[in-house]
Structure 1
């Protein structure tokens, strides 16, 4: 299992250490904890960073009259849909405002509870379950500071863009999408075994293949889209596809 990166955004030293200790007691060998982030410089901290499903943020709510933890969490959520957000607060009644602002938190831990371990475990279990469920559902990319997510079952194949250098085109079921990334970078990013990545100009989603036409050199996808790769490449695709079917049957 990959380590979680846990960020605690809290200005009360006692409460910060209380939450850090609870995390360490339950998940000490599974977490990297960062609890020294200045809430006044939070926007500066997240600028230029890419956060993933392994990143978990705990926000206090009440910082000052000028900014709240809800404000900071909202800025983070606009930047990243992949990271997990939770609140550690003495004001759990603020949950309605959090919902209205589309922050999508995984939970709230009340500081009023004498033992916060149960609330913490509930949140971490929820994150683990969600990540497991979503593991193969999306590909995520950071473009111009924003996270772009594409459902894997919407992708038939990806090809190098022949007109624009260092761009690729995602051939989706009902559309296509161009992304500024090289094919080499994309191969390194994709870790799903149902994407065939051994061709120079294409990445093919084996799960969406309906039929492979050996004689004509065409790949026929479930939504009726077709890709012509030629007789030489089609032999490699057939061999790899048969191996994938055997391995995953």
Structure 2
């Protein structure tokens, strides 16, 4: 559920500086960001796009990369592969801003390197926050967002990431299972069932995303999410599960 961050900066010292600013922000603010790639080479970014096909990534790009592919060229390639990408240019060449508009790469921000470190850091942090809010807003608008809160922090997942949700042994709490772990939060299963009709209620205490079911054992009434992770469905649900899976 992390927001992937990709950094492409040809100057090693500046690459490390930008990485440090972002990692410190993640460490002290507990935001769901993850640096997926840091590189001096635009070719590595292109290879990353082909291999991992990220969605709604956040890209920090230098414009002058000392390479036949410059940052604006790379931004165009990113936009082709990741249409909802949030692109931020980090550069000393502010005179190139009109060119980014002309090339229609739709940048989120344009940060100058030649400024005091605190101002530079503040701009990076502000743009990370804006990127997160815009990605979350788009998910909500497209009805693809699953939103829940733990304490004062609100999480927004793509519904595709949800495996299943079940009641906890602790009253009024629910457990959400995703590919990389689980989260426990306060809530009511009945309210989530009404709010997210695409989730299928397999028994009184469990809502399932059938898109993430790997196997169904109708004899033992199990739905499998992995070989070691499964849940039991109620007797009367077998026919409805078959019909729902057929329509996917």
Q: Normalized against structure 2, the TM-score is what? A: 0.54
Change (3 A) 1:65 1:16: closer
SS in 1 for 2:58: strand
- What does residue 120 of structure 1 align with? 124
Change (3 A) 1:134 1:113: same
Answer yes or no: is the 8 Å Cα contact 1:22–1:117 preserved in 2.
Answer: yes
Looking at structure 2, the residues matched to 112 and 71 of structure 1 have their Cα atoms a distance apart, in angstroms, of 23
Answer yes or no: is the 8 Å Cα contact 2:58–2:86 preserved in 1.
Answer: yes
**Alpha-carbon deviation of 1:49?**
2.3
Change (3 A) 1:113 1:80: same
Q: Once superposed, what is the RMSD of the aligned Cα atoms?
A: 3.3
Gaps of 5+ in 2: 145-158, 163-191, 202-239, 241-248
Matched, 1:189 2:189: no
Structure 1, residues 78-111: CA drift from partner, whole Å, max 9, x if none?
Answer: 1112232111111122111111222111101111
Looking at structure 2, the residues matched to 139 and 51 of structure 1 have their Cα atoms a distance apart, in angstroms, of 20
The alignment of Structure 1 onto Structure 2 pairs a total of residues equal to 156
Structure 1, residues 6-29: CA drift from partner, whole Å, max 9, x if none?
Answer: 211011001101111111222234
Answer yes or no: is the 8 Å Cα contact 2:12–2:40 preserved in 1.
Answer: no
**Alpha-carbon deviation of 1:129?**
2.1
- What does residue 8 of structure 2 align with? 9
Matched, 1:52 2:55: yes
Looking at structure 2, the residues matched to 87 and 131 of structure 1 have their Cα atoms a distance apart, in angstroms, of 18
Looking at structure 2, the residues matched to 65 and 39 of structure 1 have their Cα atoms a distance apart, in angstroms, of 8
- What does residue 86 of structure 2 align with? 84
SS in 2 for 1:196: coil
- What does residue 26 of structure 1 align with? 25
- What does residue 39 of structure 1 align with? 42
Answer yes or no: is the 8 Å Cα contact 1:139–1:190 preserved in 2.
Answer: no
- What does residue 75 of structure 1 align with? 77
Answer yes or no: is the 8 Å Cα contact 2:92–2:112 preserved in 1.
Answer: yes
